[in-house]
Amino acid sequence: MLKIAIYGKGGIGKSTTASNLAAAFSKTGLTVLQIGCDPKADSTKNLLSGKKIDSVLDVIKSGKNYSIEDLVHIGYNGVLCVEAGGPTPGQGCAGRGIITAFDKLEELGVYEKYKPDIVLYDVLGDVVCGGFAMPIRGGYADNVFIVTSGEMMSLYAATNIVTAIENFAKRGYAKFSGLILNKRNIENELEVAQKAAKEMNGEIICVIERDNLIQVSENQGKTVVELFPESNISKVYENLARKVLEVCNG
Ligand code: ADP
Ligand code: MG
C-alpha cells in the first residue's frame, strides 16, 4: 500500500490535483482511497458528482449508529472517498478532526475491507501543527508532494511544510518527494519555482498549466480526467500519476 500526502497552501489546487490524480490512478486499475484532511471537507466532491459527504467528525458528532459505509463513499471509477472534517469554526483545534478520523478508519477496519493500493491524503498545509502534521508522522504517509504556484505565499507555505517534514524525518517518517507546480501564470513562474525547489532540496516533478476545463468540470462536480479524458490537461494528470508512482517506488 502506497501512502501519499498532498500538501499545500489553502486554495492552491490540492484537491483538484488529488482528485484528478486519484481518477488517473483508478483508470490504471489501482484502488485509491482519498482522505480529505481540510476542515472545508470538499476534497472529494469532484469524484462524487459534486456531492459533499458527511465528514467523519460530522458522523461521529451526530451521535447516531454508523458503519463503514457512512464514512467511506464510492466515487468515480471506484475511488474510495473520505472527509476527515473539522470543528465548528472558532471552536477547538482544526487538526483534531484528522487525528480522530484516522483512528476511526483503523478501528472500523477500512483498510482490511477495501485493501486500497494507494492512500492519498489531501492536507491543508498553511500551518503544519498538531493534526495537520499527522499524515507526516505516525507512519501515515511515506511520500509527501507539495502543490505550489510560483507565488510567494504559496512557496512560503511549501518551505514550512518541508521544514516540518525534515523535523520529523529524523525519526524515520515521511519524506519530501517533490513539488507539483500548479501555475497561476505569474511572471517567470517556472524559474521562480525552480529556484525555490532547489532551496528546498527538491525537484518540480510536474508542471500543471491553468486550464479552463478544470472549472467547466468542477461546475458539473467532476474531474477533468472523468469529463474530458482526451484533453491535454487530463494527460498531464495521467503523466503525474506515472511520475508519482516512479518517485514513490524508486
Ligand atoms: P485547495 O484544495 O488547495 O484548497 P482547490 O483544488 O479547491 O484548492 O482549487 C481552488 C480553485 O482553483 C478551484 O476552484 C479549482 O478549480 C481552481 N484550480 C486549481 N487548479 C487549477 C488549474 N490548473 N487551472 C485552473 N483552475 C485551477
Ligand atoms: Mg482542498
67-98 pLDDT tens trace: 999 999 999 999 999 999 887 766 777 677 78
CB of 125 shorter than 6 A to ligand 1: no
**pLDDT at residue 172 greater than cutoff 90:** no
Please list the helix, strand and coil fractions of the chain in percent, rounded to the nearest 5, in that order. 45, 20, 40
Q: What is the pLDDT of residue 59?
A: 95
- So what's the pLDDT on residue 60? 92
Average pLDDT (25-43) is: 96
- Looking from the CA of residue 208, the nearest atom of ligand 1 is 23
Residue that has been written with the C-alpha cell 483508470 in this structure: 27
Q: Which range has the worst mean pLDDT, 5-9, 20-24, 58-62, 146-150? A: 58-62
Mutate to test the pocket of ligand 1, among 9, 16, 232 (most ligand atoms within 8 A of CB): 16
Cβ-proximal residues to 205 (8 Å cutoff; 6+ apart), any chain: 145, 177, 178, 179, 180, 240, 243, 244, 247
pLDDT value at residue 89: 66
What DSSP letter does each residue of 106-130 carry, written as one string?
HHTTHHHHH--SEEEEEEE-SS--H
For 235, half-sphere exposure in the C-beta direction (CA atoms, 13 angstrom radius) is 3
- The whole-chain average pLDDT of the chain stands at 94
Kindly state the DSSP code that residue 137 receives in the 8-state scheme. S
Check pocket membership of 15 for ligand 1, CB cut-off 6 A: yes
90-130: pLDDT as tens digits: 677 767 778 888 999 999 999 999 999 999 999 998 877 77
Residue among 38, 45, 104, 126 flagged as catalytic: 126
Task: Tell me if residue 142 is catalytic.
Answer: no
Distance (Å, rounded) from C-alpha 247 to C-alpha 228?
26
Q: What percent of the chain has pLDDT over 70?
A: 97
> CB-hemisphere CA count at 13 Å for 60?
19
CB of 34 closer than 6 angstroms to any ligand 1 atom:
no
Q: What is the CA radius of gyration of the chain?
A: 17
